[in-house]
Amino acid sequence: MTARDQHGSGGGPGARRTGRGREAQRAERRAAILEAAMELIAERGYRRTSLAAVAERAGLTQQGLLHHFPTKELLLVGVLETRDRWDLASAAAAAGTRRTDTLAQLVDYNATRPGVVRTYTVLAADSVTEDHPARAFFESRFRAVRAGMAEVLRAECGDTLPGGLTPERAAPLLAAVLDGLQLQWLLDPEEVEMPAAFRDFLALLGCGEGRSEGLGEGPREELDGELGEGPDSGPGADPSAP
């Protein structure tokens, strides 16, 4: 047993502090690896991104990287899960707003981080090939996204949207617009204003910030029960809110 092992095996406060320090260091290294991987995948694509290149950009040896991510596939999963956690954190921060408005705020957030959006877009496109390690992830993710968006639309607009579509039929369109706008914005950010364009699409659906007063309104009490009281509720709230 080494001196470090002996120091870390005790039960006193010093040992606990040392343990927490190691955990923090490990978390920092994982974060650095994931950030480096996102950057390189955005630049080169997944297949042309090597573990050695990720390790070099993260300031680690390849052996050091393998300690955290033993395979390239596990690193890819880590990148995708990190991106989704950031999206969930952004949505949670917007809790209390109407649900389609929360999606709009997520688009606002993505407009501030083109590198992450670029990584996601590259991986999503690459995943259509049969042998891509992220294919199963994206198949499952899009099924969940479509189901979740159908729930969002039903909660806000009821069983039929103002244009006549059901939430289930509109959900794939909503997902397609989100990803399609990201691609156009990445290619031509001066011409495509992603947040504004997404709100325009919500207005076409008749939901969200751009809907006409009285269209697609669902029961306010039910929605408040799901999301909790937020800054849009109470005296002085927007009278067009659902």
pLDDT at residue 220 is higher than 70: no
pLDDT band for position 14 (cuts 50, 70, 90) = low
Return the pLDDT at 76.
Answer: 86
Q: Torsion angle of alpha carbons 113, 41, 43, 116, nearest 10°?
A: 0
pLDDT tens, residue by residue, 78-109 = 888 887 776 665 555 544 555 788 889 889 98
Return the pLDDT at 88.
Answer: 61
pLDDT at residue 177 is higher than 90: yes
Angle between helical axes of 135-157 and 99-110 (0-180°, round to 10): 140
pLDDT at residue 17 is higher than 70: no
Return the pLDDT at 128.
Answer: 92
Query: What integer is the mean pLDDT of 167-171?
Result: 95
9: left (phi over 0), alpha (psi -120 to 50) or beta: alpha
DSSP label of 212 = P
Q: What backbone phi and psi angles, to 5 degrees, belong to 95?
A: -60, 140
Integer Cα distance of 15 and 24 in angstroms = 14
